Amino acid sequence: MLTPVVDDDGAPFWEYAARGELRVQACAEPDCGELRFPPRPCCPHCHSFDSEWRRMSGKGRVWSYVVPHPPLLPEYAALAPYNVIVVELADAPRIRLVGNLVSGPEAPLNSVAQDRIRIGAKVQVVFANDEGGEGGSGLPRWVLERP
């Protein structure tokens, strides 16, 4: 199983994800409010260290994708073929998250045929709820809005 690496800055992201919420770190400075990802201590816009976690709708679109081919590290080769998509968030178009397009929260990594993946396709976040599954519990994954 491939599990996320959680650091202090990113820990809240995973805590919210485990509850089924997609949240993005935002600057808490009233005049700024800039969203940022990946999480980090300081706002790159105004250099404030105050931050909050803003809930997103979980809607986005496929900004780019790849289907990796061997040679791959053994843990990845065992899962191939699979897709890796870059999702542009509808609520924050400058924020892009990397994940997998699947047919449902617990579906296998290759559950969406490669020829169904289109740049620009609308997607919605779902959260894996399967402790023993490929992504563990709370891993954000993506499903097509119109499968």
Interface contacts to Zn ion, rule CB under 5 A: 27, 29, 32, 34, 43, 45-46, 48
* CA 57, 61, 63, 68 torsion-angle sign: positive
* Residue that the structure tokens 């609308």 belong to: 122
Task: Please tell me the total number of residues recorded for the chain in this structure.
Answer: 147
Give least dist CB 91 to Zn ion, A. Answer: 17
Give least dist CB 13 to Zn ion, A. Answer: 18
- Residue 28 gets the label, from left (phi > 0), alpha (psi -120 to 50) or beta, of alpha
Give least dist CB 35 to Zn ion, A. Answer: 10
Whichever of 29 and 130 has its CB closer to Zn ion, that residue is 29
Whichever of 30 and 71 has its CB closer to Zn ion, that residue is 30
Whichever of 27 and 87 has its CB closer to Zn ion, that residue is 27
- Token digits for 86? 């870059």
